[in-house]
Chain A
Amino acid sequence: MSDVTSDPPQLTPTCETEVIALIKESYEQSRAIVVTGGGHFETYGYPLDSNLAKLSTVNLNQVIDYPSRDMTITVEAGMSIAALQHELAKEGQRLPIDVPCAETATVGGAIAANVFGSRGYQLGTWRDYLLGFSAVDGQGRLFKAGGRVVKNVAGYDLGKLMIGSHGTLAALTQMTLKVKPIPETGQFLYVGLKESEIETYLSSLVRTETIPVSVDLITPEMANLLSIDQSLELPIEFGLLIGFEGTPREVAWQLEKIQTEINTVGKPGVMFAIEEQFTDAVCKGLSETLSSWKSLSNEDQVKKLEKGHSDFRSSTYGNITFQASLKPSAIEKFVKTARTQGCVMQSLVQFGIVRGLLPDMNTAAQVIGSLREELKKFNGSLVVIQSGPQWDSTIDPFDYDSLMLTYMRKIKEKLDPRNILAPGKLFK
């Protein structure tokens, strides 16, 4: 008899062979499991049965090969992002993908969840860095695709399937990544602007002579959260955070140039280069604040928010975050609408992505519904990223088109025919 109150079993294999054995066993017994890394995306997608056994990759955490002069690295899936960056930094290199909670997030988990930040537009996301991988599918078959060299078109690029598949197709065990040199320096420009001027400024940036590595738009409420979270003093208004990296000369030239350009576009509010010592805090805030908000207790948040800013709109922020996809030119319109519904938002401008926090658990279903309606006007879409424990089953986290869903199912049937890997997480 199963004991429903005991914790689900934790499997912590220490090598690929054990992963194969464990998954094979689950396959043979048709017993479902969840592959986990840092566990940050457990509440992504449809809720899973909480009694499922967890196969954690955290003990698969070795560097397999690091030919730094080839600018590639092969590591095991359970290595934390921070450990990876630490290893790379020894050689003056890095993986320029912003992953929140880098200390605990694993490389495999970040790939499976396709985590990235706004630097990804200029510097690339996982699909630009994953050169090859090994994984164990839902039948316990170890397979690989790609390779260890930076250019390679032999065979199907199955890495693209692994990215964003949330462990529903296979357990990643090893990956080879392209890496880049660490730039000498980096700095952000802050530009305050009015809601009605968003598109004017964003469209002007398309023709900037500078090469920003990131452009984030933050709403006043997001500026507030960022300030609290990272002890920054950002004006509580709409703002652009434009990031530059390179040699001190390149960064200085670009900071000056872009300010001149922006001044010819209109009359921005406050505009200033954020001191270099705060660059890391801004980066961390931009990548983590929204997604880690739930880690503070609601009461704490509310107190902090109310203390700082009496005009802050809501004291009932829940922990549902979403990611909307739309064309960059539609960001202003969407942000306006979503803000009237009380959302706190940050936009990865160049991608055409808006990430947001919903104001209230109780109205979540209704707000998501109306945001999706709005997005339809721009052929956009919306995914619920984190849903929290009080899941409202009337909210569909995804708005797939039906053909996408059909092919996702067919692919899963091939790799996980008994539906044992995180069953029902991405589709029912």
Chain B
Amino acid sequence: MTSSIPLINALSDIVGKDHLLYDAEELLVYECDGYIVEKKCPDVVVFPISTAEIVEIVKTCNRFEVPFVPRGAGTSLAGGCLPVGGGVMIALTRMREIHEVNLRDGYAVVDPGLVNVHLTREVSGDGFHYAPDPSSQGACTIGGNVATNSGGPHTLKYGVTVNHVTGIEVVLPDGTVANWGGPAGMPPGFDLTGLFVGSEGTFGICTKATVRLTRNPAAYRTMLGIFDDIQTATRAISEIIGAGIVPAALELMDQGIIQAVEAAFKFGFPLDAGAVVLIEVDGLEVSVDDEAARIKELCHQVGVREMRTANSEAERLLLWKCRKQAFGAIGRLSPSFCTQDGVVPRTRLPEILQFIEKTSQKYDIRIVNVFHAGDGNIHPILLFDERDQAQIQRVIEAGDEILNKCIELGGSVTGEHGIGVEKINFMPKLFSENDLTVMQEIREVFNPEGNCSPCKMLPTAGACGMEQIERSHPGRQAAL
């Protein structure tokens, strides 16, 4: 589809000529998000500043019969922002206001384009934070988090996005503005807020979110378990969870990642370790030491080589920096990489990691791991050189094999990144025809014409321009 002058004029009348892009070169930035395997430029990108402008944009798109897709920071790793079929991309990055912070009642009302960590910064002086902390929190937006139901290292104990969103304002695909939930108790009716969270932009555009604010814990103990091999590390994780301990975070990095992170941050990780596990407990000052001691004991029982404890806040922050910026360090290992986001029952971690190792050997593709181990949410990162066509094919096959194994072990193909366009073909493997039909019908309630974020999440919604996507190759892709 080529953008029509009348459409551009109509959109320009709404947002002003400085707040839309339609020049082919400028549009290139928006041809993909963090998932760069598939690319497609939108015809126009608009940058509204208010709910009212979004309503007008949506109505205009409907009048011109063009599809539209919301976009936050574009850090999606599943191609959620891909403008399948072209059309209008509604970029929410100008809408980043914090409308209300109410510490007494424990909530904030924020714009969709607000960067996740900015909310925590706003309230940290008062001893509060916004609990969902995706590793991308320095860039990703609350609206994007709502759409994908983001998790993060600390969501093991505190819950993912949906557990912290109590209300939303939404512009529905027909331009209606709906307000669901809010800060006050449990209003009557279905939990449409909960249903919307994780709908990946296919039910409409979130234009405001009411989120819970969480008190900062009084105390932390942050430990690093150093293991000779990854199998022992995963056994330790199973033991900790199996013993009924839910730490605030439980994150694993294998040898490949340790080496890359050490080169980047010089923390002092032992380079010969098979894996390290970053374990944080938090809560009352009186309880963190007991809990840390129990965890250490369990790690020793399975044969940990060494347990270290962060001795200062600075050391703790450095450990977290290593973990959260691990993806940045991966560039040291390989020119290109591709991340998967499978989930297995937590006790099956040793099995899936063994399988990943075998798959790596089978396809002769190096795979490194850094992931939210406490949730059983793996992020195998497949390293390759994108100039090598044969390698690319092997990466795709290896990735698919790992996700199929996750399903076989009773898990899922995505714990937090979403289905997007990337994993759409796995949906029939996870769900029956009935399941998918019901999901499709629920989508039709909100998005009957299918013009909002077409071709995402459900394979049944296909046949609408997928052929126009450049199916190139697994590209250099951000991890975790």
Query: What is A's interface to B at a CB cutoff of 8 Å?
Result: 67-72, 92-93, 114, 124, 127-128, 137, 141-145, 147-158, 160-161, 163-165, 180-181, 203, 206-207, 209-211, 246-247, 249-250, 253-254, 323-330, 350-353, 378-381, 383, 398-401, 403-405, 407-408, 410-411, 414-415
Contacts and interface: CB of A to CB of B under 8 A. Distances in A.
Interface string B247-280: 0000000000000000000000000000000000
A158 B203 CA distance: 13
B249 to A, nearest CB: 13
Nearest to A116: B186
A112 to B, nearest CB: 12
A160 B176 contact: no
Given A70-B347, A327-B184, A381-B188, 17 more contacts: A71-B244, A92-B244, A143-B434, A143-B435, A144-B435, A149-B410, A154-B414, A161-B195, A206-B106, A210-B284, A325-B184, A325-B185, A352-B183, A403-B176, A404-B192, A408-B190, A414-B444
B412 interface: yes
A417 B399 CA distance: 41
Given A92-B244, A211-B284, A414-B445, A155 B434 contact: no
A57 B114 CA distance: 46
Nearest to B187: A381
Interface string B142-174: 000000110100010001101100000000000
B427 A155 contact: yes
B194 interface: yes
A155 B105 contact: no
A213 B127 CA distance: 19
Contact of A324 (B185, B198, B241, B286): B185
Contact of B418 (A145, A153, A210): A153
16 contacts: A70-B241, A71-B241, A124-B159, A127-B194, A147-B412, A150-B346, A155-B431, A157-B194, A180-B244, A181-B244, A181-B245, A323-B186, A328-B104, A381-B187, A404-B187, A415-B438
A161 B434 contact: no
Interface residues of B, number: 85
Contacts of A69: 238, 241-242, 346-347
B432 interface: yes
Contact of A160 (B127, B194, B441): B194
Given A149-B411, A414-B444, A127 B191 contact: yes
Interface string B1-17: 00000000000000000
A428 to B, nearest CB: 14
Contact of A149 (B245, B344, B442): B344
Interface in B92-127: 102-106, 127
A250 B423 contact: no
Contacts of A352: 105, 183-185
Pick the 4 closest A-B CB pairs, nearest first.
A325-B185, A181-B244, A160-B194, A69-B242
Given A70-B347, A249-B290, A352-B185, A144 B416 contact: no
